[in-house]
A and B are shown apart, each in its own frame.
Chain A
Amino acid sequence: MPTLGSWGRYPHHPQTPHSVGWPFEIGNAFSRIQGAGVASTLGYGCGRSYGDSCLAQSDHVIALAGMDRVIAADWQTGVVTVQAGVTLDGLIRIALPNGWFLPVTPGTKFVTLGGAVANDVHGKNHHVMGTFGRHVRRIVLHRSDKGVCDCSPAENEELFNATVGGLGLTGIILAVELQLRAVRSSDIEQTCIKFGDLDEFFALSSQQDSKYEYTVSWVDCLAGGKSAGRGHYIGGNHSAAGELKVADGHAKRMPVDPPFSLVNTLTLKAFNALYYQRQVRKVVETRVSYDPFFYPLDKLLLWNRMYGKAGFQQYQCVIPPESGRDAVAAILRETSINGAGSFLAVLKQCADIKSPGLLSFPKAGVSLALDFAQRDALNTRLFARLDALVHEAGGRLYPAKDAHMSAHHFQSAYPAWARLESLRDPLLMSRFWRRVTS
């Protein structure tokens, strides 16, 4: 049987899938797994989490991508109810021609609704719309101890709050009722602005963020000295008029694993310099389709293979406003001193918009994400330094991207973890949760 893994391919623990295509098969899957003497399991969507939060402690997961039907759709109000295995891509294909789009989307459309709820994902519009969970109206959950339960802000509220951002631990999500966002076009009016250093980024962001629903910045994290922190600020709004056109599904696929990582100091330097210099003028305005705007990386399917068999780790943190600038500068400095470099350094200002989720990652401040090819020294050296910086600055790491944080850091950054633990489905346990709670 083919095995499953996580997006970063680190840590490497192949997962045996137990595929489920229908909600009423979940009970059976629970008993089959228990009958086979497996102590725990975990729901699995598309495996687009980077670290070990989508890996079962037992390495036996319930694969839910086959449960991908629309249960009801009201194109007058934009409320849809879908099975949890529907992907964001699948939902866009159905909703966009009717004038609706996702209220919040992460940087890949190849995630399931169940996964989006379990990580309470955020997007480039966090400062306007908050997290995904704020737009979820109802969740149908199947628990191994209580059977099927409906939860919403009005019914079983505590279980609802625990399930939003609950890392898949409160039960198997069967269905999600979601409020979509109306759009008049499938295009985005995009503005790119070059900035020369970090201070310029923060200045730009405070002047410009209110003009755009979507904002994100890319930083050349290999540039040192005076140009440390240079990059591009990208803002976007849905076009006011135009076509409602679903992007065609063609993508290139990373066909095989290269024998070694294609990501090394040389390719990184070239890539980052080219990326920064691609835009000569300071400000460039264009109209682009939603697909390259939100999902530039999806064009190269399975790009994670670029890092070779050893895989890679993403380091994503959010730092409160008071300490944001200095902490980000310090993190970028540590990274460039280490020569560790990253293809992607992404900065985004998050707002103080509360999510119902107990363990939601975003909070007011600046979020920074960096990718690193996996090396043995990563966790012990670089990440240890970065973790100390983040901890001191009052920030926290994103469980969906994590493969290393300590129980101490996790528990002080997410004090509500104990409430989630008390609401956990006793049959569900991830490698991440075991690591950060024991």
Chain B
Amino acid sequence: MSKKNVLIIGASSGIAEAVARRYAEQGSNFVLVARSQAKLDVIAADLIARGAKGVQTRLWEGHDTASLPEIAGFAWSALGTVDLALIAHGTLPDQPRAQRDLAYALEQFRTNGESAVACMLALAGHFEAQGNGVLAVIGSVAGDRGRGSNYVYGAAKAAVDALASGLRAQLFKKGVHVLTIKPGFVATPMTAELDLPAALTATPDRVAADIQRAVDARCNVLYTPWFWTWIMRIIRFLPTAIFKRLSL
């Protein structure tokens, strides 16, 4: 493993920060994109102390898809080549509210679905021209099959999954790799208030280690931690007649 040029969109998310620390230890160069300059400044200083060679930051709001081409341009001019781009921003919608409040539901769909899709599209051309590198996006096990308890989030993540899958097939021919990351339960600020089953909940660093390995191994789809591969296989293949009766 050697140092890399890394672009992270949604750099203040728990998983993104854990990934960035691992690359910082190898002396990597970063462009970090997130919503709060105060957080970006603290994260940048932290990564430098951990060994990052350089960190540049850009402010960006998740719904502002119009400025994505410019941000992509900034990343490539700042880094020269981008070895890894990680798209990591997202929110966890309050599903009962989403069922009552259409505007809220669509806004959540935009942040988790449309905006991640827009990021991939905005970066794809640069990667294609570059002819190498890894484009990684954080999807979710929730995107594998819409569940009664969080289908707004699930539908958004399913869109990400489908787009990543198509982009993978297209970019593969140009030497670019697309990695879809599907974490299960992760103990991050986003999930801090949820009652997650302790045995199934991973630390961000555990997930980050898996991501780093998957990037190096050019994996297509990463379930992390590994046991989610098996859990999701069962959930995907349950007959609908049974699945719809479960309270998942």
- Complex CA gap A312/B45 in Å reads 41
- Residues of B within 8 Å of A21, CB to CB, are 14, 189, 192
Q: How far is the CB of A153 from the nearest CB of chain B, in Å?
A: 24
- Complex CA gap A24/B38 in Å reads 10
Contact with B along A36-77 (1 / 0, CB 8 A): 000000000000000000000000000000100111110000
Contact A71 B46 (CB under 8 A): yes
Query: Which residues in chain A, 9-38, are within 8 Å of chain B measured between CB atoms?
Result: 17, 19, 21-22, 24
Contact B50 A70 (CB under 8 A): yes
- Complex CA gap A70/B20 in Å reads 14
Q: B49 contacts which of A1, A17, A73 (Cβ < 8 Å)?
A: A73
Q: How far is the CB of A320 from the nearest CB of chain B, in Å?
A: 42
Contact B189 A69 (CB under 8 A): no
Contact A69 B198 (CB under 8 A): no
- Complex CA gap A71/B193 in Å reads 27
**Nearest residue, chain B, Cβ from A71:** B45
Contact A1 B194 (CB under 8 A): yes
Contact A19 B198 (CB under 8 A): no
Q: B42 contacts which of A17, A66, A69 (Cβ < 8 Å)?
A: A69
- Residues of B within 8 Å of A330, CB to CB, are none
**Quick check: is B195 within 8 A (CB to CB) of the other chain?**
yes
**Quick check: is A2 within 8 A (CB to CB) of the other chain?**
yes
Q: How far is the CB of B163 from the nearest CB of chain A, in Å?
A: 30
Q: How far is the CB of A32 from the nearest CB of chain B, in Å?
A: 10
- Residues of A within 8 Å of B3, CB to CB, are none
**Nearest residue, chain A, Cβ from B197:** A2
Contact with A along B176-208 (1 / 0, CB 8 A): 000000000000010011111010000000000
Contact B42 A1 (CB under 8 A): no
**Quick check: is B43 within 8 A (CB to CB) of the other chain?**
yes
- Complex CA gap A358/B138 in Å reads 49
Contact A94 B49 (CB under 8 A): yes
**Nearest residue, chain A, Cβ from B17:** A69
- Complex CA gap A268/B140 in Å reads 48
- Complex CA gap A2/B191 in Å reads 12
Contact B45 A70 (CB under 8 A): yes
* Dominant SS among interface residues on chain B: helix
- Complex CA gap A378/B231 in Å reads 46
- Complex CA gap A80/B49 in Å reads 9
**A69 touching B43 in the complex, CB below 8 Å, given contacts A21-B189, A94-B49, A94-B50:** yes
**Quick check: is B39 within 8 A (CB to CB) of the other chain?**
yes
Interface residues of B toward A: which range?
10 to 19
- Complex CA gap A71/B45 in Å reads 6
**Nearest residue, chain B, Cβ from A73:** B49
Q: How far is the CB of B26 from the nearest CB of chain A, in Å?
A: 12
Contact B45 A2 (CB under 8 A): no
- Residues of A within 8 Å of B14, CB to CB, are 21, 66
**Nearest residue, chain B, Cβ from A246:** B25
- Complex CA gap A233/B5 in Å reads 50
- Complex CA gap A70/B51 in Å reads 11
- Residues of A within 8 Å of B49, CB to CB, are 70, 72-73, 80, 94
- Complex CA gap A72/B45 in Å reads 6
- Residues of A within 8 Å of B193, CB to CB, are 1
Contact with A along B116-134 (1 / 0, CB 8 A): 0000000000000000000
Contact B195 A1 (CB under 8 A): yes
Q: How far is the CB of B247 from the nearest CB of chain A, in Å?
A: 19
Contact B195 A69 (CB under 8 A): no
- Residues of B within 8 Å of A73, CB to CB, are 49
- Complex CA gap A413/B239 in Å reads 69
Q: How far is the CB of A416 from the nearest CB of chain B, in Å?
A: 35
Q: How far is the CB of B92 from the nearest CB of chain A, in Å?
A: 14
- Residues of B within 8 Å of A17, CB to CB, are 192
Contact B50 A19 (CB under 8 A): no
- Complex CA gap A94/B46 in Å reads 10
Contact A66 B189 (CB under 8 A): yes
Query: Which residues in chain B, 6-47, are within 8 Å of chain A measured between CB atoms?
Result: 14, 38-39, 42-43, 45-46
- Complex CA gap A71/B47 in Å reads 9
- Complex CA gap A19/B195 in Å reads 13
- Residues of B within 8 Å of A1, CB to CB, are 193-195
- Residues of A within 8 Å of B42, CB to CB, are 22, 69, 71
- Residues of A within 8 Å of B38, CB to CB, are 24
**Nearest residue, chain A, Cβ from B41:** A71
Contact B196 A2 (CB under 8 A): yes
Contact with A along B91-122 (1 / 0, CB 8 A): 00000000000000000000000000000000
Contact B46 A69 (CB under 8 A): yes
- Residues of A within 8 Å of B51, CB to CB, are 94, 97
- Residues of A within 8 Å of B39, CB to CB, are 22
Contact B198 A70 (CB under 8 A): no
- Residues of A within 8 Å of B196, CB to CB, are 2
Contact with B along A62-100 (1 / 0, CB 8 A): 000010011111000000100000000000001001000
- Complex CA gap A300/B122 in Å reads 47
- Residues of B within 8 Å of A69, CB to CB, are 42-43, 45-46
**Nearest residue, chain A, Cβ from B190:** A21
26 contacts between A and B (CB under 8 A): A2-B196, A17-B192, A19-B192, A21-B14, A21-B189, A21-B192, A22-B39, A22-B42, A24-B38, A66-B189, A66-B192, A69-B42, A69-B43, A69-B45, A69-B46, A70-B45, A70-B49, A70-B50, A71-B42, A71-B46, A72-B45, A72-B49, A80-B49, A94-B49, A94-B50, A97-B51
Binding site for B on A (CB under 8 A): 1-2, 17, 19, 21-22, 24, 66, 69-73, 80, 94, 97
Q: A72-B49, A97-B51 are in contact. List 7 more A-B contacts (CB 8 A).
A: A2-B198, A22-B39, A66-B192, A69-B45, A69-B46, A72-B45, A94-B50
Binding site for A on B (CB under 8 A): 14, 38-39, 42-43, 45-46, 49-51, 189, 192-196, 198
The 8 closest A-B pairs by CB, nearest first: A70-B49, A69-B46, A73-B49, A19-B192, A21-B189, A70-B46, A1-B195, A2-B198
